[in-house]
């Protein structure tokens, strides 16, 4: 692969391991293990003299193609593919922490990420502090001598707040900690945390990278040294590996990622502007709009807006439910990044496990909806919303 290739080219050709048959599309190596020509060859594999494959929990050629293509897109030296986004997040955190360590994380986190930081890590003697990610002073105030990892996502789910990744990375470097960034919402096309100074990037490939609602997957990207020294042994002995079949589906997804995300972002911008003009909408939160509270930061660290919009309707939970129920094209689902437009009511679904107080702190009100914009005709989507507003206003 040439280093001058642009992302769209890398996402189609990056990491391809063509077999002796010269197949056009990536081969699917649906195998658990590998056979050796001799006992000596097996010995050489196991002692590292021969770099070939041993067992698909450690590595598999189709999964390698996915990992290499992720590296090519992200500009990372190394990647490990995981069975899901949470497999990536939990492995990236657990592999480098030990009892007595401390983690600081932004409070606005994907629900399961928050569980890992707030509930799971403390069971193993790793303390954690959740802070308002928007405030660098809050990050600084939470630092302890034993702080080893800083963790954040930006934009956040579902309120689309931003965290200044560069500033938090500088803080991590000052104290010798590792900054882990969950880059799902921005997608690898619109934000490069490694370039902004993060040490480790994690993805749920389930979202935009598949983008067609088919399979789960995840990825952890960092330097070759970090992956080899901190993560590889943890990964191969605990087994959050990606299935070769899922890697193959995700490789196909990557080929069309730039086209899909560009279209979804353009449509999201159009719909955000439409929603901002509606009388029954109290507030629209969209990182591509000038009225986003952190519009300046969005321009600095993101190449474009987002495929997601958060908005609040007049009339609380009842009005939000009526609007969802009146939609025809836009489906009610907690997933995101799909070709199908999906809407969810975070307070009663993805964020239902938080206390009322925690939801208030995060700004997740009963009238908030999160819309993941898909690939349907944007005029049809706008009509769907317009009709639903009319029907629900009558209800």
Ligand X SMILES: *Cc1c(COP(=O)(O)O)cnc(C)c1O
Residues near ligand X (CB under 6 A): 84-86, 89, 110, 112-113, 153, 157, 182, 184-185, 204, 206-207, 216, 218
For the beta sheet containing 368-372, the strands, ordered from the edge strand earlier in sequence to the opposite edge, are 281-285, 308-313, 368-372, 342-344, 331-332
Is 201:181 a contact under the CB 8 Å cutoff?
Answer: yes
Closer residue to ligand X (CB): 110 or 235: 110
Instruction: State the sign of the Cα–Cα–Cα–Cα dihedral 22, 23, 24, 26.
Output: negative
- Give the span between the Cα atoms of 361 and 354, in whole angstroms: 10
CB of 3 to ligand X, least distance (A): 29
Give the shortest CB-37-to-ligand X separation in angstroms: 38
DSSP codes, 242-306: PPHHHHHHHHHHHHHHHHHHHHHHHHHHHHHHHHHH-TTEEEEE-TTSTTSTTHHHHHHH-SS--
Taking the alpha carbons of 133, 135, 137, 141 in that order, is the dihedral positive or negative? negative
Token digits of residue 256: 């069309």
d(CA 90, CA 64): 21
**What is the C-alpha to C-alpha distance for residues 124 and 135, in angstroms, rounded to an integer?**
28
Task: Name which of 183 and 392 has its Cβ closer to ligand X.
Answer: 183
Least spacing, CB of residue 395 vs ligand X, in Å: 31
Give me the least distance between CB of 246 and ligand X, in Å please. 10
| Least distance CB 265 / ligand X (angstroms) | 16
Nearest-CB residue for ligand X: 85
- Name the minimum Å distance from CB 130 to ligand X: 15
Q: How far is the CB of 231 from ligand X (least distance, A)?
A: 17
> Which is closer to ligand X, CB of 112 or CB of 223?
112
Closest approach of ligand X to the CB of residue 109, in Å: 8
| Whether the bond into 59 is cis, omega within 30 of 0 | no
By C-beta, is 16 or 238 nearer to ligand X? 238
Task: Rank residues 84 and 147 by Cβ distance to ligand X and give the closer one.
Answer: 84
When the beta carbons of 14 and 337 are compared against ligand X, the nearer one is 337
Q: Please measure the distance between the N-terminal and C-terminal CA atoms of the chain and give it in whole angstroms.
A: 58
Distance, in Å, from the CA atom of 26 to the CA atom of 102, rounded to the nearest integer, reads: 42
78 or 201, CB closer to ligand X? 201
Task: Find the length of the chain.
Answer: 395
Closest CB to ligand X among residues 113, 178:
113
């Amino acid at each position: 692969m040439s280093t001058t290739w642009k992302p769209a080219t890398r996402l189609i050709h990056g990491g391809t391991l063509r077999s002796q048959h010269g197949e056009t599309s990536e081969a699917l190596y649906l195998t658990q293990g590998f056979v050796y020509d001799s006992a000596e060859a097996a010995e050489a594999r196991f002692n590292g003299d021969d770099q070939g494959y041993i067992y698909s929990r450690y590595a598999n050629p189709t999964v390698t193609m996915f990992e290499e293509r992720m590296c090519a897109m992200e500009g990372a030296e190394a990647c490990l593919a995981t069975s899901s986004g949470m497999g990536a997040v939990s492995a990236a955190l657990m592999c480098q922490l030990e009892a007595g360590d401390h983690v600081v994380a932004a409070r606005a986190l994907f629900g399961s990420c928050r569980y890992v930081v707030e509930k799971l890590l403390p069971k193993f003697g790793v303390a954690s502090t959740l802070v308002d990610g928007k405030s660098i002073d809050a990050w600084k105030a939470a630092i302890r001598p034993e702080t080893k990892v800083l963790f954040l996502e930006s934009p956040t789910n579902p309120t689309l707040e931003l965290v200044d990744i560069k500033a938090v990375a500088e803080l991590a470097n000052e104290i010798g900690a590792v900054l882990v960034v969950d880059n799902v919402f921005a997608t690898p096309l619109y934000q490069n945390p490694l370039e902004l100074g993060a040490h480790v990037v994690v993805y749920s490939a389930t979202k935009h990278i598949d983008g067609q609602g088919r399979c789960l997957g995840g990825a952890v990207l960092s330097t070759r040294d970090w992956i080899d020294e901190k993560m590889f042994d943890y990964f191969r002995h605990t087994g959050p590996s990606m299935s070769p079949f899922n890697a193959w589906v995700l490789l196909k997804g990557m080929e069309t990622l730039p086209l899909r995300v560009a279209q979804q972002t353009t449509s999201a911008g159009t719909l955000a502007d439409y929603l901002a003009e509606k009388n029954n909408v109290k507030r629209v939160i969209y990182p591509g709009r000038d009225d986003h509270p952190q519009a300046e930061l969005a321009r600095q660290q993101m190449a474009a807006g987002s495929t997601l919009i958060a908005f609040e309707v007049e009339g609380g939970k009842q009005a939000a439910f009526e609007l969802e129920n009146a939609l025809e094209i836009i489906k009610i689902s907690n997933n995101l990044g799909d070709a199908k437009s999906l809407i969810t009511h975070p307070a009663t679904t993805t964020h239902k496990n938080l206390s009322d107080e925690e939801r208030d702190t995060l700004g997740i009100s009963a009238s908030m909806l999160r819309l993941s914009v898909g690939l349907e005709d944007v005029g049809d989507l706008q009509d769907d919303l317009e009709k639903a507003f009319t029907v629900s206003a009558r209800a």
